[in-house]
Structure 1
Amino acid sequence: MLVTLLLIAVTCAVSITCFSNRGMLESLLFWPPAVARGEFHRFVTHGFVHADGQHLLFNMVTLFFFGRAVAPFFERATGPAGFPVFYLAGIVVAILPSYLRHRRDPGYRSLGASGAVSAVLFAYILMAPWSIIYVFVVPVPAILFAAAYTAYGFYAGRLGADNVNHSAHLWGAGYGMLAALIVEPRLGPHFIERLLSPGFLS
């Protein structure tokens, strides 16, 4: 829990500072031309800045609730550094496909922790597919939320009508499940067993 709170605190501090410091924001967000110049820190730092308060609040609330469940899993399996390494790697892995697609696009920018937060959320869903997730106070089984989230991500990503990096969401989600399975392969049979036994207390 302490590591989750620390990640939230650092993200909030950096993001809120950047709301009024455009120069700092520009130096931290993900911008392919800057990466090409050797500013590789942007692969990580873009996950600590957000477009606005709503963007920040949504990601940090999600991280708070699901990080509490996922962090102990990684800590037990890989030690105290397990969860922060998983989270920071999620930021990097989620943005890589976007970088490869837009590496020659000077107009492309991306920011936010959504990729890493999606990794945390989907690692949780792998562990407890029939648990209840509240989406704007509406209770939804986690596995159904995952299906809708994935379908919408593909649809909206292909449509390209908004400024949301749906690719990062989807790659983050896939990374979260894969990382959890690598750490604990028994989660695979566990997930299938739970999936075949629908119930909201799993």
Structure 2
Amino acid sequence: MGNLDIITIVLIAANVMISYKGFNDFSFFEKYKFNIGAIRRGEQIRMFSSGFLHADTAHLFFNMFALYLFSDLVIFDIGKFNFFVVYLGSLIAGNLLSLYFHKDEYHYSAVGASGAVTGILYSAILLRPERDYYFLFLPSRIGDVDLGIPGFVLGIAYLLYSIYGMKKRIGNIGHDAHFGGAVGGYLITLILMPSLLQTNLLMVGLLAIPIVVLFVLQKMGKI
């Protein structure tokens, strides 16, 4: 991987500085985290600011590492400004979906760049759906068998797992923010590059399957 683009460096630096401020200043953390009650009272800044706060250093590291892995690919395909639009749009989309699903849970709180980063990940997959991805610390091949997972398979599987996580409330994880971020990344990328509807319509359709599944389940009252 080449040198990080300046926009990625700025985003990582902003996340690190604001998160560390939150680690050491409880009142700052409480003032800017995602909280349903506060947002419904009119503190909409939390919809944005919460995406730059993290629960701990491990949470911060994994989000920034994922951003590092996928940012250059998206920047290369759609440019710096559009990358930034996808990042911020996905952040807001993730928090909007969280707000929708938890609107009556006034004490519900969350922090993290996961929605924004998942949007970048899903944008990368939409742009290069047939690119293979490999798990860290695992071999890329066993004998003649390539262990790479095509991007579109990874994307669909991840969002289906997010739906399952939302339904079962698995772990202390904002599955709805992840899902909303991915939807944001998907839709914004299509708006910015409508040519994908002509050049790779099949993959665009396949990657929309989990979004349709969530919509149907929500309409049926299953989530």
Q: Report the more deviating stretch, 184-193 or 125-134.
A: 184-193
Match of 1:144 among 123, 135, 153: 153
Distance 2:150 2:108 in 1: 35
Residues 114-166 of structure 1, C-alpha deviations (whole Å, 9 max, x = no match) = 11111101111011112122333344322221122112111111111311111
- Structure 1 stretches of 4+ moved >4 Å: 192-195
Unaligned runs of 5+ in 2: 139-147, 205-223
What is the TM-score when the length of structure 1 is the normalising length? 0.86
Residue 194 of structure 1: how far off its partner (Å): 7.2
Q: Does residue 12 of structure 2 align to residue 8 of structure 1? A: yes
Tell me, yes or no, if the aligned pair for 2:77 and 2:127 is still in contact at 8 Å. no
Distance 1:98 1:172 in 2: 10
Give the equivalent residue in structure 2 for 1:117: 117
Unaligned runs of 5+ in 1: 196-202
Give the equivalent residue in structure 1 for 2:213: none
Equivalent positions of 1:154-173 (< 5 A) are: 154-173=163-182
Residues 89-121 of structure 1, C-alpha deviations (whole Å, 9 max, x = no match) = 211111112212323322200111111111101
What is the TM-score when the length of structure 2 is the normalising length? 0.79
Give the equivalent residue in structure 2 for 1:129: 129
Give the equivalent residue in structure 1 for 2:53: 49
Match of 1:60 among 64, 67, 70: 64
Match of 1:69 among 65, 70, 73: 73
What amino acid sits opposite 2:48 in the alignment? V
Distance 2:27 2:121 in 1: 31
Match of 1:191 among 200, 203, 207: 200
Give the equivalent residue in structure 1 for 2:101: 101
Tell me, yes or no, if the aligned pair for 1:98 and 1:168 is still in contact at 8 Å. yes
What amino acid sits opposite 1:166 in the alignment? H
What secondary structure does 2:173 align onto? coil
Give the equivalent residue in structure 1 for 2:217: none
Distance 2:104 2:202 in 1: 45
Residue 192 of structure 1: how far off its partner (Å): 4.2
Tell me, yes or no, if the aligned pair for 1:59 and 1:113 is still in contact at 8 Å. yes
Tell me, yes or no, if the aligned pair for 2:91 and 2:181 is still in contact at 8 Å. yes
Query: How many residue pairs end up in the alignment?
Result: 191
CA, structure 1 residues 38+5, in 2 after alignment: closer, same or farther (shift >3 Å)? same
What amino acid sits opposite 2:20 in the alignment? I
Residue 13 of structure 1: how far off its partner (Å): 1.1
